Amino acid sequence: MSDLDLRGQRVLIREDLNVPIDDHGRITSTQRLDAALPTIAAARDAGAKVMVMSHLGRPKEGQFDEASSLAPVAAWLGDKLGKPVRLVRDYLDGVDVADGEVVVLENCRMNVGEGKDDEALAKKYAALCDIFVMDAFGTAHRAQASTHGVIRFAPVAAAGPLLCAELDALGKALENPAHPLLAIVAGSKVSTKLTLLDNLIGKVDQLIVGGGIANTFIAALGYSVGNSLVEPDLIDAAKKVLADAKRRGAEVPLPVDVVVAPEFSANATATVKLVDQVRDGEMILDIGPETAKQYAALIAKAGTVVWNGPVGVFEFDAFGKGTETLARAIAASKAFSIAGGGDTLAAVDKYGIADEVSYISTGGGAFLEFLEGKELPAVAALKARAGQ
Ligand code: 3PG
């Protein structure tokens, strides 16, 4: 986008302004808005007629749904841009926008055909503009009319600064990393992250697994995990990841100690145990202090750290020490660090390390698909359009 002359042009910018909104219509996290704002302000400052397009939630197509309206987002943008921002409900047949004005187009997922990447709808979007800017990294993994189809039909299609920054940061972390490259992949289930683990194992020097994923790996080593969250069907898959890692020279350090509790609750009594001493009736809810120390030492030596997922139930303070120790180690390290995913960003916020992480991704699903090694459909469409 920054290479184009936007003055007087009708510029349609697809952002991911899918932010959490509470029952009172208040935005509870502005991370995605903060990240998109510079793109929108730059287009406005360049004298473009700016139309901002986004989805919010997953409303039913073909009907208006107040709860999924972008009204709070338009109000937020108006506040930040110092001038009210109109929310346009009916826009598919054209919108009047003045030079240097910013308007928000109502939730594109209310349009029939958006989800299925309908060609007629994509052409309508394309007809709204002289230049289409794809800046929604968080939705770049969806092949929908506003993220994919429109790229084929817009008079000009360009990548926006936020999308470029996200791809640069992820490329720096995974395609051209400073070594050692260490990834932290945690979460409740191996099944949802198996492709990601398989892809990363061919790239990383160290892979730290956490949460329910680590439990399945611990079980794969033959230890009892008591009542912990575990996927017995994936124990063989975990063994295969460990064997692949060994073959490729990647380390997968597993916990030497863990924090267990008799139940999943904020007030449950937390006990530190060696990993081979977990008994029936106990649940592993965090890594232990010795493990956290060992992992922090690896982070201190890393050249690049990719972080997706907290290693314990950090929402409960008694089981958050492992995640906190790793977060502080990332904050203190000189490595290029990138963090992404909803729970990870909540941990980044909780421990106040946002300024110390080199790059915080706005992508949830898109971040994971990139880590899985998949090409994001919107990025593929931009490349095809550019003849790459
Ligand atoms: C996200 O929040 O991950 C993106 O906005 C994509 O939303 P979706 O999963 O509803 O497509």
- The pLDDT assigned to 2 comes to 85
pLDDT digits (tens, 9 = 90+) for 356-387: 999 999 999 999 999 999 999 999 999 999 98
Residue ranges lining ligand 1, Cβ < 6 Å: 16, 18, 58, 138-139, 142, 364-365
Q: Which of 290, 283, 289, 218 is nearest to 252 (CA)?
A: 218
Residues in the chain, overall count:
388
Residue ID of nearest Cα to ligand 1 atom 9: 365
Whether pTM exceeds 0.95: no
Assign residue 334 a region (left: φ > 0; alpha: ψ between -120 and 50; beta: otherwise). alpha
**ipTM score above 0.90:** yes
Cβ atoms of residues 186 and 210 within 8 Å: yes
Q: H/E element holding 44?
A: helix 31-45
Quote the CA–CA distance of 197 and 212 in Å, as a whole number.
14
Whole-number Å distance, alpha carbon 333 to ligand 1 midpoint, is 31
> Does the domain made of 10-159 have the CATH classification 3.40.50.1260?
yes
Other beta carbons within 10 angstroms of residue 265's beta carbon come to 14
pLDDT digits (tens, 9 = 90+) for 268-305: 999 999 999 999 999 999 999 999 999 999 999 999 99
Q: Determine the 3-state secondary structure of 266 from DSSP.
A: coil
CA-closest candidate to residue 214, choices 176, 243, 253, 171: 253
**Ligand 1: which residue has its CA nearest to atom 6?**
139
The predicted structure's pLDDT at residue 148 = 98
Indicate if the alpha-carbon torsion angle 333, 339, 342, 345 is positive or negative. Answer: positive
Give the integer Cα–Cα distance in Å for 228 and 85: 50
Of residues 47, 78, 113, 342, which has the active-site annotation?
A: 342
CB-CB contact of 143 with 266 (8 Å): no
Please confirm whether the linkage preceding 20 is cis (ω < 30° from 0). no
As a CATH number, domain 167-371 is 3.40.50.1260
- In the residue annotation, 222 being an active-site residue is answered as no
Closest residue by Cα to residue 202 from 372, 382, 379, 2: 372
SS3 label, residue 213: helix
* In the block, residue with structure tokens 């921002």: 85
What are the structural domain ranges in the chain?
10-159, 167-371
Cβ atoms < 10 Å from Cβ of 260: 26
Q: Pairing relation of β-strands 257-261 and 271-274? A: antiparallel
- Binding positions for ATP are 193, 315, 341-344
The string of pLDDT tens digits covering residues 157-185 is 999 999 999 999 999 999 999 999 999 99
Residue numbers belonging to the annotated binding site: 16-18, 32, 55-58, 109, 142, 193, 315, 341-344
Only one residue has tokens 């790239």, namely 203
On whether the CB atoms of residues 288 and 230 are closer than 8 A, the answer is no
341-356 exposure pattern, b = at least 16 Cβ within 10 A, e = fewer? bebbbebbebbebeee
At residue 388, the pLDDT reads 80
Res 264: pLDDT = 94
d(CA 137, CA 376): 9
Report residue 268: phi and psi, to 5°: -65, 150
Region 201-225: what's the mean pLDDT? 95
Judge whether residue 191 has pLDDT over 90. no
Taking every pair of Cα atoms in the chain, the longest distance, rounded to a whole number of angstroms, is 69
The question of whether 342 is a catalytic residue gets the answer yes
365 among known catalytic residues:
yes
3-state secondary structure at position 356: helix
Is pLDDT of 16 > 90? yes
Quick check: is 334 catalytic? no
Tell me which of 123, 189, 239, 273 is the catalytic residue: 189
Cα(372)–Cα(363) distance, integer angstroms: 13
Q: What is the position in ligand 1's atom list of the atom closest to the CA of 364? A: 3
The reply to whether 167-371 shares the fold of 10-159 is yes
Which H helix or E strand runs over 53? strand 49-53
Name the residue of 15, 18, 109 whose CB sits within 8 Å of the most ligand 1 atoms, as the mutation to test its pocket. Answer: 18
